[in-house]
Amino acid sequence: MIKNDRFASLQIADRAAIVPAAEALRDLVREIGHYRVAVTHDISTQRAMQDDQGNVLATHVFGWADRPGEAWWKISRLAFSSPLALACRFENEPMWANALGIRTITPNPQIQQIDISDFARRSMTASAIVLPVHMPFGLIGAASLVPVDQSRVDLSEDFERHADMLGTAVRRFVTSYSRVMGAKARMPLGNDLSSREVECLRWAAVGKTDLEIGMIMSRSRATIRFHMHNAVAKLQSVNRSHAVFKATQLGYLGYLN
């Protein structure tokens, strides 16, 4: 059981706290076994996590070498080819994986459909404990705990004992890093959508055109376009699809009655 002060050490309040928090995560991982941690704040980007001086945390803190076969953060295809990255898109709880499968705390049929062929090459490890971090606005971070001894492929015991604690620890580290290092807010504040704008976006989300929405709502096509234009502007979106995405992330869009 990890004490509250250990969790507090993983919280990044400003850029100067990045390295101490990363070191705290590294040390916590070492305590549960002979692992290295590969952590990213965004599985869809090649931007490596860095400290306030621009040093890459993977090499500067977590012990990865900046050379082919080990510099995982430099491999653009990894986010698309690795079964571990794909699993993080379909699961928000800790899991562990090897060439025999991906195990989750709660059964997830989608995870079982992931192709795990040629697992070690595609994942750059023979096994791993994987800790997804789902954040607002579709951002997904993750940490993979990789055994230093690559002949060790059964991680079930460590997973059973430490998965929940590790998931909480990684979430604290990754989410606070994202807040501190984020360039700007991803969503506008203070521009609440009207009920009509929400209704239009909800119908657009299920594929209805402006003409069809107008028929459903008993409004003219021009009126629907007016509401959609306002929604796009309020959400600082580039088009209606982008507005639907942002509205969904903000919780405006639910199931249609």
The predicted-structure confidence for 115-140, as pLDDT tens digits, reads as follows 999 999 999 999 999 999 999 877 89
Residues 211 and 151 reside in one and the same domain: no
Give the distance from CA 230 to its chain's centroid.
30
Residues 177 and 238 in one domain: no
* Residue 257, in any domain of the structure: no
| Same domain (yes/no): 105, 205 | no
Q: Give Cβ neighbours of residue 243 (< 8 Å, ≥ 6 apart).
A: 201, 228, 231, 232, 235, 237
Cβ atoms within 10 Å of 195's Cβ, excluding its own:
8
Pinpoint the alpha helices (H) of 18-154.
18-32, 57-60, 78-81, 83-90, 109-112, 119-123
Q: Which two tokens stand for residue 173?
A: 């580290």
Same domain, 126 and 148: yes
Token pair for residue 142? 């993750």
255 has pLDDT over 50: no
188 CB neighbour count, 10 Å cutoff: 13
**Residue appearing with tokens 């890459």:** 56
Do residues 102 and 201 share a domain? no
**Residue 94 lies inside a defined structural domain of this protein:** yes
Please indicate, yes or no, whether residues 172 and 206 belong to a single structural domain of this protein: no
Give domain status of residue 92, yes or no: yes
Report the CATH number at residue 22.
3.30.450.80
> Are 131 and 65 members of one domain?
yes
Domain boundary among 151, 181, 211: 181
Question: Does residue 72 sit in helix, strand or coil?
Answer: helix
Q: 201 and 167, same structural domain? A: no
Confidence at 7, pLDDT banded by 50, 70, 90: confident
Last residue of a domain, one of 159, 181, 203: 181
Pairing type for strands 95-98 and 127-134 reads antiparallel
Contact criterion met (CB below 8 Å) for 115 and 101 = no
Position 2 scores a pLDDT of: 59
Q: What angle do CA 52, 42, 237 make, to 5 degrees?
A: 105
Task: Give, as one character, the DSSP assignment of residue 184.
Answer: S
Predicted local confidence at residue 247, as pLDDT? 86
**Whole-prediction pTM value?**
0.79
Q: Answer yes or no: do 139 and 215 share one domain.
A: no
Q: Within a domain: residue 186?
A: no
Residue with tokens 């709660």: 106
Bridge partners of 88, per DSSP, are none
Instruction: Name the domain count of the chain.
Output: 2
pLDDT at position 177 is 97
d(CA 138, CA 154): 31
Has residue 209 got a pLDDT over 60?
Answer: yes
Q: In this structure, is residue 162 part of a structural domain?
A: yes
Contact 10, 21 (CB under 8 A): yes
Q: Is residue 187 part of a domain?
A: no
Residues 133 and 236 placed together within one structural domain of the fold? no
Question: Do 220 and 153 share a structural domain?
Answer: no
127 beta partners: 98
Domain enclosing residue 68, as ranges: 4-181
**Is residue 257 pLDDT above 50, yes or no?**
no
* Residues 151-177, mean pLDDT to the nearest whole number: 97
Q: How far apart are alpha carbons 75 and 73 in whole angstroms?
A: 6
Q: Is the pLDDT of residue 185 over 60?
A: no
Averaged pLDDT, 52-77: 93
**104 and 225 inside one domain:** no
Say what the pLDDT of residue 256 is: 43
Locus of tokens 């971070």? 141
d(CA 201, CA 64): 45
Identify whether 219 is part of a domain: yes
CATH number at residue 245: 1.10.10.10
Strand order in the sheet with 127-134: 35-40, 140-147, 127-134, 95-98, 101-104
- pLDDT value of residue 110: 93
Tell me the average pLDDT of the chain.
Answer: 91
**256 within some domain:** no
End position of a domain, from candidates 122, 151, 181: 181
pLDDT-derived band at 252 (thresholds 50, 70, 90) equals confident
Average pLDDT over residues 207-216: 95
